Amino acid sequence: MIPRAELDARLGGAARAWLDEALAEAAHTAERPVTGYGTAPWELRFASAGRHLGADAVDEARVLLLRTARVDAPTATRIYQQGTAAERRAVLLALPDLGLDAAAGVPLVEDALRANDTRLVAAAVGPYAAAHLDPHAWRHAVLKCLFTGVSVDAVASLRERAHGDAELARMLGDYAKERTAAARPVPDDLHRVLALTGAEES
Amino acid sequence: MRIFDPHIHMTSRTTDDYEAMYAAGVRAVVEPAFWLGQPRTSPASFFDYFDALLGWEPFRAAQYGIAHHCTIALNPKEANDPRCTPVLDDLPRYLVKDGVVAVGEIGYDSMTPAEDHALAVQLQLAAEHGLPAMVHTPHRDKLTGLRRTIDVVRESALATDRVLLDHLNETTVREAKDSGAWLGFSVYPDTKMDEDRMVAILDEYGPEKVLVNSAADWGKSDPLKTRKVADAMLKAGFDEDAVDLVLWRNPVAFYGLSGRLDLDPTAPEALHEGNSILRGGE
Ligand SMILES: [Zn+2]
């Protein structure tokens, strides 16, 4: 999460003012949740942030809105499920800050990991996934990154979780063999992760 | 040459098409929500479709260097099916999204009371959301349909110069132009318009507020028709500026009315070897 000052530096005056208003609305909702029908005003800001703030700042601004509104599990789930790819990405990036338990947050991560949209896959393998995915799901997430060309730099706690993981090493070795048999290059990231497992390359 | 196809259903097209379109000069597309050939039976399948227009499809397009936006609506055909009409109630949550640059395709198919209702409701939604509207004119009884469309637009809260009347031809262009709306022409193999007729219309009515599209979809259609019209224009003596006006600046101006057009396709890092589309079967 980048500091607000750094985010402001990427924005023009009008965009900064727009974000200020949006955050004030989010803070207001955090104190007095909207009940019944109707959408909280900050959610409209969340949806329209791209056209007001531009691509450089939109991920961070949306994460900030989610944190400021202190969204609960049902709200985070609804915003993810009804979101565009860009909005879903923001929910995934915000997960470590929202205090959602695994029952609420892991299904969102799993949904994103089923996607082939690399923006979603990259956002799904952050610190929340590192903390909450079980070994099987986490190994498949790493492999998914290799398959879809998402840099494993995106995988949080890669060093810690890969260390001593013999099953991950086996999966990587099998994948390398499959690539070699097809006369295709083995991604550099595969060697990197394999080294982190501590296994010898065969 | 830079080309903007303002009406193409990429969901029904292949990555080969994206590649060929890029090679032909296409750098931006708008994909209107329409019917899928097969009737849908519940609002939920519309929502999955809309989500794809705001998720997977722009991602696919970006991988080929093409900016993708969409228009969202309940189409005229399915506006007649009571199983689908509840979609109207959920449109507002889609119409606020970045990436939605108009309400559309709306308009008439068979000119029924249900279509009257859906058209009026959706023109009002466009006005409320600061969006222009992309209006399909009917294939059968076309001139009557056009007149009725213009009447409904005039009675609506949406200004006529924020409306694109699409699928026009020789029989409807005059009245459409006189209405003050933007003029859309779909160039299609066998049906609708062809390149030479398009050039003749441009000759007679001028290139102002004219948009040309391929309307390519799951039917017999050609996603390169925009380029073919550009070539036919040049061959007929139009200069490059006129081509750029029709094939780029006009669609940018019309969809730019939304304030949401972002023509810089930010392709995700993975472009070739690890391309998640190339690994589609994964
Ligand atoms: Zn169409």
User: How many structural domains compose chain B?
Assistant: 1
pTM above 0.95, yes or no: no
Binned at pLDDT 50, 70 and 90, residue B274 comes out as very low
Please choose, from the candidates B100, B24, B101, B64, the residue with its C-alpha nearest in 3D space to the C-alpha of residue B268: B64
CB-count exposure of residue A64 (10 Å: 0-12, 13-18, 19+) = buried
Query: B54–A85: do the CB atoms touch at under 8 Å?
Result: yes
Write down the residue that tokens 């080969």 correspond to.
Answer: B16
Binned at pLDDT 50, 70 and 90, residue A78 comes out as very high
- pLDDT for A37: 62
Domain presence at residue B274? no
Query: B99–A48: do the CB atoms touch at under 8 Å?
Result: no
Cβ atoms A141, A125 nearer than 8 A: yes
Which residues of B lie closer than 8 Å to A, measured between beta carbons? 51, 54-56, 58-59, 93, 96-99, 259-260, 262, 264, 266, 268-271, 273-277, 279-280, 282
Domain presence at residue B131? yes
Domain presence at residue B268? no
What is the domain-level CATH number for residue B11?
3.20.20.140
- Residues with a beta carbon under 5 angstroms from ion ligand 1: B 34, 215
- pLDDT for B119: 98
Cβ atoms A71, B123 nearer than 8 A: no
Decide if pLDDT at B23 tops 80.
Answer: yes
Chain B residues within an 8 Å CB radius of A183: none
Tokens of B54: 């705001």
Give the residue-averaged pLDDT of B37-50: 97
- Partner residue facing A117 (CB), from B55, B266, B282: B55
Domain presence at residue B93? yes
Cβ atoms B102, B30 nearer than 8 A: yes
- pLDDT for B112: 97
Which residue in chain A is spatially nearest to B59 when comparing CA positions? A117
The residue among B98, B260, B261 with the most chain A CBs within 10 A of its CB, best to mutate, is B98
Round to whole Å and give the CA distance between A130 and A165. 14
Q: Domain residues for B62?
A: 3-262
Give CB contacts under 8 A, 24+ apart, made by A159-167.
A159/A196, A160/A130, A161/A130, A162/A193, A162/A196, A162/A197, A163/A196, A163/A197, A163/A198, A164/A197, A164/A198, A165/A135, A165/A139, A165/A197, A166/A197, A166/A199, A167/A135, A167/A139
Give the residue-averaged pLDDT of B189-199: 87
Reported ipTM: the value is 0.92
Domain presence at residue B192? yes
Domain presence at residue B281? no
Domain presence at residue B276? no
CA-based nearest distance B168→chain A, Å = 31
Please choose, from the candidates B93, B6, B222, the residue with its C-alpha nearest in 3D space to the C-alpha of residue A40: B93
CB-count exposure of residue A35 (10 Å: 0-12, 13-18, 19+) = exposed
Domain presence at residue B272? no
CB-count exposure of residue A10 (10 Å: 0-12, 13-18, 19+) = middle
